[in-house]
Homo-oligomer: A and B are copies of this chain.
Amino acid sequence: MPTQALAAHITQDTTLPISTRFTLLLLVITFPAAADEIPGDVARKAATIRDQAMAGTVAYDLVESLTMEVGHRSSGSPGDAKAVAWALENLEALGFQNVRAESVEVAHWERGELDVRVTAPNEHKLVALSLGGSPGTRGNRLSANVVRVESLNELRALSARDLRGNIAYIDHRVERHKTGRGYGPASRIRSCAHYIAAERGAVATVIRSAGTSTHRFAHTGGMLNNKRPATIPGIALANADADLLTYQIESGERVQLSIQSTATNLPRTTSANVIGEVPGRGPLADEIVLLVGHLDSWDVGTGAYDDGAGVAIVTAAAKLILDSGEAPRRTIRVVLFANEEFGLDGAEQYTQRYARSIDKHIVGMEADFGAGRVWRFSSNVSEDALDLVDEIHALLEPIGLERGNNRASGGADLTYLRKAGMPVLGMSQDGTYYFDYHHTEDDTLDKIDINDLNQNVASYVTAAYVAANIERDFGRIPVNPAPFRGCSAAED
């Protein structure tokens, strides 16, 4: 365990006897070995840029422009094309090099119109959204009885006799948590419920939204089961409307829902990853420090939190390095991915395109969790690079970051590169309120606090500056070619 991590450990571990604590503390004082991995001039310059970022960046202007001018931009839509043009124009204008759009084949789905009503025992129109990939009702109104469960396992326990011809309603409430940990189980229900229900003859799936909004917004999102298309409509209800549906069911009377939807899965089409670089200099110039966000958004809000903020954070971070007066040793590459939301197409095709140079990607960082303050810095790097991570953390601690573990996922768009062995650094944004806005009509610019946004930029730029300017790297992590999970109980 490196000295500095040990020091952090001491501060936290008050169960040690006083004398031991004192001795260890003395050790730290006696051997302040914190500057082994990052040369002093790099650390000082990183701290300067960090503080500059805290004082102000271009991030807010970028997310304002993207949301107010382009607006929403789901893959394959006119907004998507407009977003690609916006990104090219802005990366050029900011002075990045090698600015380019790299073509990506993307999934294409259109929401159309949706009308969902309880028709018995009491008539109510519900606030609901079709889930991405949901088929429509082919011009008809689909009416059926509702069968309620609270989990995928309860759904799996039903037979075709229970579900055939009925609508399965999965009434799972998402936990609110700073880490966003409630989203995993909820998004799994969104991805898998339709598949399990369809196997048992259900005609549609309705879920309580995979979100925490206490306002009347449904949360959309993909209902892809490992890229397999959905065969029955999938609908998410706002929390208040799920309450209303549950109330009808608890009355003990037969509850009927009626759904009309013109949602449509269209042929795959073309979008693009947009890339801009701050070229490196010298022998390490062909190595890449990767900063990513995604350019697409769902089609209901203006994609401010998801992921306009991320686009703005990584671009503003790279811009600070671009303007720092000296080219970095490694190349900083900003990639704004196509279609994260509905199949990770941009990330997957980037990984294929750059298959032969993945080992030149020495580390990746993604911003795709809104604009809450970063509170924790974690990693997924080679064990022998943990000293370096600790030293980067020492630069981040003054702006409020705790030290996390070495199991960071790095974000959805880095999944393929991470599984191919690229180390990642994780900036944990405060997710307490993120899932109030995520994938809703309410994801708009007014939710972003400019100071929190700049603290994000400061966090990203500090780590990126160090990674790009030191001799050593983060090693590689184990290659993991395992496919994404399926929907069986064993994989839950």
Given A215-B217, A301-B216, A243 and B70 contact (CB-CB distance below 8 Å): no
Contact of A247 among B68, B215, B248 (CB under 8 A): B68
A71 interface residue, CB < 8 Å from B? yes
Residues of B contacting A69 with CB < 8 Å? 122
Q: How far is it, in angstroms, between the C-alpha of A71 and the C-alpha of B123 when the chains are bound? A: 8
Residues of B contacting A154 with CB < 8 Å? none
Chain A: interface residue total (CB-CB under 8 A): 27
How far apart are A167's CB and chain B's nearest CB, in angstroms? Answer: 19
- Surface stretch bound by B, among A352-360, A438-446, A481-489: A438-446
A214 interface residue, CB < 8 Å from B? yes
A54 interface residue, CB < 8 Å from B? no
> Contact: B441 with A71, CB < 8 Å?
no
Q: How far is it, in angstroms, between the C-alpha of A122 and the C-alpha of B217 when the chains are bound? A: 25
Given A215-B217, A216-B301, A240 and B71 contact (CB-CB distance below 8 Å): no
Q: How far is it, in angstroms, between the C-alpha of A68 and the C-alpha of B118 when the chains are bound? A: 11
Given A217-B215, A301-B216, A240 and B444 contact (CB-CB distance below 8 Å): yes
Residues of B contacting A68 with CB < 8 Å? 122, 244, 247-248
A225 interface residue, CB < 8 Å from B? no
A9 interface residue, CB < 8 Å from B? no
Stoichiometry, as copies per complex, reads 2
Interface flags for A235-268 (1: CB within 8 Å of B; 0: not) read 0000110011001100000000000000000000
A127 interface residue, CB < 8 Å from B? yes
How far apart are A242's CB and chain B's nearest CB, in angstroms? Answer: 10
Q: How far is it, in angstroms, between the C-alpha of A71 and the C-alpha of B118 when the chains are bound? A: 11
Q: How far is it, in angstroms, between the C-alpha of A248 and the C-alpha of B64 when the chains are bound? A: 12
Q: How far is it, in angstroms, between the C-alpha of A192 and the C-alpha of B302 when the chains are bound? A: 32
Interface flags for A176-210 (1: CB within 8 Å of B; 0: not) read 00000000000000000000000000000000000
Given A68-B122, A71-B122, A243 and B441 contact (CB-CB distance below 8 Å): no
A124 interface residue, CB < 8 Å from B? yes
Q: How far is it, in angstroms, between the C-alpha of A68 and the C-alpha of B215 when the chains are bound? A: 17
Residues of B contacting A127 with CB < 8 Å? 441
A residues with CB within 8 A of B: 64, 68-71, 122-124, 127, 214-217, 239-240, 243-244, 247-248, 301-302, 440-442, 444-446
- Given A69-B122, A216-B217, A244-B444: 16 more A-B contacts, CB < 8 Å: A68-B122, A68-B244, A68-B247, A68-B248, A70-B122, A71-B122, A71-B124, A215-B215, A215-B217, A215-B442, A216-B301, A239-B446, A240-B442, A240-B446, A243-B446, A244-B302
Q: Closest 10 CB pairs between A and B?
A: A240-B444, A216-B442, A68-B247, A215-B215, A69-B122, A71-B124, A215-B442, A216-B441, A240-B446, A68-B244
10 sampled A-B residue pairs with Cβ under 8 A: A68-B247, A69-B122, A71-B122, A71-B124, A214-B446, A215-B215, A239-B446, A240-B444, A243-B446, A244-B444
